[in-house]
Structure 1
Amino acid sequence: MGVDDVTLEEFTFTRWEPTDWSLILDPTDDSAPLPVAGYIPYSGTTGPKGHDAPVTYLPGLSNDGTTVVLDGVPIGEAISAYDVADKIVVVDVPLPEISLSSLREQFYFVNDSIPETLAPTLFTGLLAVPQIHAALETQNAAGMVGILPFGPDAANNLYAPFEGVVADLPGLYVDQFTGRQLKQELATAGGTLPGRLRLEATVDEQATARNIVGVIPAPTDRELVLCTHTDGTNANEDNGPVAILALAEYFRQLPRGRRPVTIRVILTGGHFARHNAGLRAYLDDHKDEVKENVLAAIELEHLGALE
């Protein structure tokens, strides 16, 4: 595409990679597993045998803004009053509303009306999961099952949240229909049933990946950075490189003397690893030149999203 000085810059990160998972109520040799939508990334591992423990439902979760509350109290403070130790805890994942008022004055260009709040969506629900998971982990729960308020089309294979830090509370997701069935069976049994949660995963604390870096030079060393990640889970999540390649092609066709600034293209990996591992590695390795030369950076992703 005409980008000069293309380099591959290796970095390390912790890779948590799931291999198999299942959820069974009242496990016996002929017990059929429940339909599972997916796993909570980096939540831990049970090993091949899984965790056998009582399954219980924890009601009363809601939101106060973006804070998950349990019977009106922030869950981190309230959870110690509940008996969840050594249990597989089933919870409804609540959907918070996000205030946009603090962002309105920072927008440079608006082509439509902006609501006061971001209505509850799949994305806002992801803000709740880390809070619930962390609270249950502090109380030594054996596992977590999050009921997503969506059908299988939206719930299946959901990869979220993106904390990228290996925890010690294996967790799975089910869709709203399986969740309804699960809660009914627990209620019929008086609130608790034996269960088995299995989440097998491997952990590599020295996994490697690469950033791709290229330069379209101009008469000045001052730079505009075009950046995006290359490890999204779907086309909408990871369509930034397409736009950046198109922009690079445009600037490449301009004579060098007509380029107002040097264009630096950075395509990073490790987007879902801790602290955006690829971008963080680049900034750590090039912090002096970034401070000296970069005028602005544009991060392109999620192009064409409708919400």
Structure 2
Amino acid sequence: MSAARHRARALLRATALLAAMGALLVPAASAGAPARAGLAAPAQSCPVAPDPAALPSAAKLREMNSYVAGLGVRPTGYRSQNLYIKWILSQLKTVPRAQVSQERFTINRWKSSSSELQLKVGETSTTIPVAAPVPYAQATRSAGVSAPLVEIPDEEPITAANAAGRIVLRPAPAGSVPNYDFFLPVVSWFVYDPKNTIDPTQSFFGDFINYNARVADLRNAAAAGAKGVLFVKDLPRSQLPNHYEPYEGTPWKVPAVYLGADEGQQISDAIASGAPVSARLVLHASYRSVETPTIRAAIAGQSAQRIVVDSHTDGTNAVEDNGPVAMVAMARYLAALPDACRPRSVEFVFPTAHFYQRLVDSQRRYGGAGVIATQLDREYGEGRVSSVLTLEHLGAIDYEQMPRSDGGPGVELMSNGLRAIQFIAITPSPPLVAAVTSVVQSYDMERTILLQGADAPASTVPSHCNFGGEGTPYNVHLLPTIGEISAPQSLYDPSFGLEGIDFDVMHAELLGFTELVNRLGTMSQAEIAGEIPLEREQRAAGGAPCPPEN
């Protein structure tokens, strides 16, 4: 990024913060405010803040989430995801005048039926329990693959020199970044942490931070001629059943599984003993061509220009992803308002293939959301799209790595009694940042960080390429985007159910983001767009696009 653009972005950030502070002192725009740039003025009785009685209570949200929790892990194209989609469709049937449509995709779905690991030390063989197969790992023959074992530290690359012809024991710890990074002026717009619970001297942990490291390991192991990979997590196996990552939808060319900390320690000790050590890995899996749909539900407003709200339908547990639970409630609420209270149309999009990222192109990520973002990119230039709001992992509670209560190796995840840090990435627009800031504070969404991006700025268009989740493809396609996501350490683990959600927090988020949609309906497009028109001009002039994520 040029020095001039750095200065401009710093000025924009300062302006945004001042605007956000001002928003706290000025009441929300009255219903009788003048119409904005081609939008009809909302009627006097139109609400900005929704009536809590018109949306599900915390208890009702728990009941709705219970259905999701009962489905367990929902990889793309699995029956469990299809059942969630059917539930969403049944809910949308209760939304007056919603125009519901589907876009179906054919994928080559992978599914494992069983896995087995035998450790042989000298002449003694022992069965080692497996926590989970790596999604889309290469299946073995019925007898499995047998090879000597080698332990390769996480910081050391897997190469032919150290892995060829062997089964690799590979530590796969959660990644981390210093909390301080979130406070940097080139990363965040604003931090709302009134109780000072986010310690800048500590670190933020998550498997997703090391996601690309696992992708690289699988590619490197295959290229090196490894016979298999045993990824060792720091957690006990009881917290890891069906652990699910990475989710590219890419067929990996090596068998691979996840082990818990105890099993990993047992194998590591065997390797260190100096005795001859080998393993036999069996992974039974198959592919099947299936269809998987993205659901769209449009609610007409006074203008055909629409606000798009997105959350995906595949996921791991009750919190990933419960965004659709909130969205169907929002849709019912907005559809019940008088037509005059929807200055813009609102479209609710429920993409598939978050867990099959390379949906339409093996060389590009972003799954079903990427397909929608590509379509919206074209429509934005025609004035048919106003903004995008993505919602992920609502009400998530925070888990920390703690010493194991049973004294075993590694750590266990335990709730610290706080809500998970909520990240909201926002494309550069002071009024948009101010609107989100006001909602966050009004609904006391503690531990919220408003991000410019989930990465360092670069000399690309846009300058921040990563929004940390489902918002990323919309941002990359230069759409005014608000990408909300919480990222608890339990995210990839189906063993965490309803106990991973604080439903009072989810209820506040539902109210707050519904109000935000109301606010987006009355803002002018210039206010919403911010720097987007400039970035689109830079792209048209040959500005560097965002590079592939992995």
Q: Verify same fold: TM over 0.5.
A: yes
Alpha-carbon distance in 2 for matches of 1:103, 1:81: 41
Correspondent of 1:130 among 211, 215, 237: 215
Taking structure 1 as reference, are residues 158 and 281 closer, same or farther at Cα in structure 2, changes over 3 Å only?
Answer: same
Q: Summarize deviations over 1:91-130 as a string: whole Å, max 9, x none.
A: 1113332256377545455321555574333443434322
Within the alignment, does 1:299 sit opposite 2:413 as a pair? no
Distance 1:242 1:32 in 2: 45
Structure 1 residues 49 and 2, CA gap change in structure 2 (3 angstroms)? farther
Correspondence 1:110 to 2:191 = yes
Report the secondary structure of 2:319's partner residue: coil
Displacement of 1:223 after TM fit? Answer: 0.7
Indicate yes or no: 2:131 matched with 1:37. yes
Contact 1:94 1:128 in 2 (8 A): no
Corresponding residue for residue 272 of structure 1: 355
Pairs within 5 Å for 1:1-307: 1-26=95-120, 32-59=126-153, 61=154, 69-70=155-156, 75=157, 79-80=158-159, 82-98=161-177, 101=181, 104-105=184-185, 107-112=188-193, 116=200, 118-190=203-275, 192-204=276-288, 206-273=289-356, 274=358, 275-284=365-374, 288-292=378-382, 293-305=384-396, 306=420, 307=488
Q: 1:16 to 1:115 in 2, by over 3 A?
A: farther
Kept in 1, the 8 Å contact 2:376–2:385? The answer is no
Contact residue 95 and residue 128 of structure 1 kept, 8 A: no
Residue 22 of structure 1 and its aligned partner are, at CA, apart by 1.1
Higher Cα Rg: structure 1 or 2?
2
- Partner Cα distance (1:287, 1:90) in 2: 44
Cα displacement (A) at 1:253 = 1.4
Give the residue type in structure 2 aligned to 1:142: K
Residues 159 and 233 in structure 1, CA contact (< 8 A), matched pair in contact too: yes
Q: CA–CA distance in 2 between the matches of 1:217 and 1:279? A: 22
Equivalent position SS for 1:53? strand
Higher helix share: 2
The residue type paired with residue 111 of structure 1 is: Y
- When structure 1 is superposed on structure 2, of 111-120 and 244-253 the one drifting more is 111-120
Judged with a 3 Å threshold, the aligned counterparts in structure 2 of structure 1 residues 80 and 108 are, in CA distance, closer, same or farther, namely closer
Deviation at residue 186 of structure 1 after TM alignment: 2.2
Cα distance in 1 between the residues matched to 2:125 and 2:271:
16
- 1:252–1:119 CA distance, 2 compared to 1 (3 A): same
2:386 is paired with a residue of what secondary structure? strand
Alpha-carbon distance between aligned partners in 2 of 1:12 and 1:283, rounded to the nearest angstrom:
19
Q: Relative to 1, partners in 2 of residues 1:141 and 1:103: Cα closer, same or farther, differing over 3 Å?
A: farther
Give, in angstroms, the shift of residue 175 of structure 1: 0.6
Residue 249 (structure 1) shift: 1.5
TM-score by length of 2: 0.49
Structure 1 residues 266 and 81: CA distance shift in structure 2, 3 A: closer
Aligned to 1:64: none
Task: Name the structure where strand makes up a greater proportion of residues.
Answer: 1
Contact preservation (8 Å) 2:98, 2:335: no
TM-score for the superposition, normalised by structure 1: 0.84
Deviation at 1:298, TM superposition (A): 0.9
Q: Name the SS of the counterpart of 2:303 in structure 1.
A: coil
Aligned-pair RMSD on alpha carbons?
Answer: 2.6
Q: Which amino acid aligns with 1:98?
A: V
Question: 1:11 touches 1:281 (CA, 8 Å); kept in 2?
Answer: no
Distance in 1 (CA, whole Å) between partners of 2:285 and 2:97 is 39
Deviation of 1:152 (Å): 2.0
* Aligned-pair CA distance for 1:3: 4.9
> Does the aligned pair in 1 maintain the 2:171–2:233 contact within 8 Å?
yes
In structure 1, C-alpha distance between the alignment counterparts of 2:146 and 2:229, rounded to whole Å = 13
AA at the equivalent of 1:110: V
Aligned to 1:65: none
* Alignment correspondent of 2:428: none
Partners in 1 of 2:235 and 2:114 — Cα distance? 23
Deviates more, 1:4-13 or 1:99-108: 99-108
Q: How far did 1:31 drift?
A: 5.0
Q: Which has the higher contact order (CA 8 A, sep 6+)?
A: 1
CA distance in 2, matches of 1:118, 1:164: 30
* Larger deviation, residues 94-103 vs 211-220: 94-103
Deviates more, 1:99-108 or 1:271-280: 99-108
Which residue of 1 is the match for residue 90 of structure 2?
none
Partner of 1:66: none
CA deviation string 1:213-248 (max 9, x = no partner): 111100101111011111112111110111111211
Once the two structures are TM-superposed, the CA of residue 284 in structure 1 deviates from its matched residue by 4.8
Query: Gaps (5+ residues) in structure 1?
Result: 62-68
Amino acid at match of 1:224: I
Q: Percent identity?
A: 29
State how far apart, in whole Å, the 2-side matches of 1:166 and 1:46 are: 13
